[in-house]
Amino acid sequence: MRQLDHFIVGGASAPAARTHKIWNPSTGEVQAEVPLGDAALLDRAVAAAKKVQPEWAATNPQRRARVMFEFKRLVEANKQELAELLASEHGKVVDDAHGDVQRGLEVIEYACGIPQALKGEYSQGAGPGIDVYSMRQPLGIGAGITPFNFPAMIPMWMFGMAIAVGNAFILKPSEQSPSAANKMAHLLHEAGLPAGLFSVVHGDREAVEALIAAPEVKAMSFVGSTPVARSLYEGGTRQGKRIQALGGAKNHAVVLPDADLDNAASTLIGAAFGSAGERCMAISVAVCVGDETADALIERLAPQARAMSIGPGTEPGHDMGALINASQRDKVAGYIEAGASAGAQLIVDGRTHPLVESSPGFFMGATLFDRVTPDMSIYRDEIFGPVLCVVRVASFEDAIALINDHQYGNGTCLFTRDGEAGRRFADQIEVGMVGINVPIPVPVPMFSFTGSRASKLGDLGPYGKQVVQFYTQTKTITERWFDENEVGGPVNTTINLK
């Protein structure tokens, strides 16, 4: 059985008092063990970061960008190994795992342009002989707490930009899928990142609380459930830290009568069931305007859901792999039972898939509900599994009101051929990320991830321009230089804008 370690300057750690088992979701077997760090271990990571970060901050942005370029090259060269690690620990199929790595690399590509992103502002002659300019400087040490479902992408969202702008970074990955973090740490070191600038501290709640308490950690990024996001946001801001905390989601897709239903159905299958539905941007609710639209969509969705190939993520040819662990599988099964008991029409029951009973792995088949109502738990809650609910509404206005009334506001999309409807939807919907005929509207790296309501706490989102602001401090300089022939005497440095 593999034994993982933390990645901290100073070599291997002493034997851990506490460890966590890493399961293979496809086989139900324990494949590795990871140590759970404590405050003392975090102190080592902080000390290493403090020692090297000032010199890194003083390194010009072009040189920092070259490290990001080399890291990108190394990740691409090791992409297959990373994808297989993700598939073996998360359960997602290798094709999905490749997408996990690729979407993270896109943010690293953006970080390669950090000299441009760090440019400040300049105003000449803001007053008599006075110029004003601004600069962005790193905070010092940042930290990231990442979930099990995207072990490569979400860490790269966080550490790539934080490091590129001049900070050190401490990553606390999920203890359920931690191996990709260690691999990326080695690749960063190989790319030329100074030792100590990036550390991986494995752990659970104890490690998170140590990060919140550490005064040297100035900013923290988090992705996970809303209750934990809220707790971390409140605890971190009390300590004076900058916090961006992404929580749960319940993403809706509105289908209008004029939509291309064949396209909508095929894209919804991927959006709902990709990565077994274990992603915060999964579409878990299809809102159909009119019964005819709903009937026609169900007619297309049901056979595709039944036909999905399900099996071990490391085997080629499957559409969907296993859930992360037995607890999550049982939770999803419980929601399916609750939905059926509440009166929703169970069109495709994932619990009846042969692998659910015959395999020791944590499998659940694709599940499709019709006639779901807003009072049902399968509509209200984030299930985080392969369950798609169809809700029927009478009008476009009802669809918008339904989505705006939900506690979560992460992402949504609209299927239509009507440009005016698309424009109205984009304007009136109160959700952070919106797709028009795009089922999973995750922004490209030049823009920021912008969830709302219970899905996101903190003003600034990951990657894009917002994360440059998040991981830097703006300094504004007002300066005046005198001609050597200028008569001395009292100097009035107040800017007169008249």
Is residue 441 a contact partner of residue 434, using CB atoms and an 8 Å limit?
yes
413 is known as an active-site residue: no
Q: Which of 112, 280, 288, 389 is catalytic?
A: 280
Residues 6+ apart with CB under 8 A from 484: none
**Separation CA 76–CA 279 (nearest Å):** 23
Is residue 221 a contact partner of residue 458, using CB atoms and an 8 Å limit?
no
Name the β-bridge partners of 142. 169, 219
Measured torsion, CA atoms of residues 454, 459, 461, 466, in degrees rounded to the nearest 10 = 170
Three-state secondary structure string covering the chain = CEECCCECCCCCCCCCCCEEEEEECCCCEEEEEEECCCHHHHHHHHHHHHHHHHHHHHCCHHHHHHHHHHHHHHHHHCHHHHHHHHHHHHCCCHHHHHHHHHHHHHHHHHHCCHHHHCCCCEEEEEECCEEEEEEEEECCEEEEECCCCCCCHHHHHHHHHHHHCCCEEEEECCCCCCHHHHHHHHHHHHCCCCCCCEEECCCCHHHHHHHHHCCCEEEEEEECCHHHHHHHHHHHHHCCCEEEEECCCCEEEEECCCCCHHHHHHHHHHHHHHHHHCCCCCEEEEEEECHHHHHHHHHHHHHHHHCCCECCCCCCCCCECCCCCHHHHHHHHHHHHHHHHHCCEEEECHHHCHHHHHCCCCCCCCEEEECCCCCCHHHHCCCCCCEEEEEEECCHHHHHHHHHCCCEECEEEEECCCHHHHHHHHHHCCCCEEEECCCCCCCCCCCCCCCEECCEECCCCCCHHHHHHHCEEEEEEEEECCCCCCCCCCCCCCCCCC
C-alpha separations of 313 from 21, 74, 332 in Å: 19, 24, 19
Is residue 110 a contact partner of residue 197, using CB atoms and an 8 Å limit?
no
Do strands 122-127 and 130-138 pair parallel, antiparallel, or not at all (unpaired)? antiparallel
**Separation CA 141–CA 192 (nearest Å):** 19
Is residue 195 a contact partner of residue 45, using CB atoms and an 8 Å limit?
no
Catalytic (active-site) positions: 280
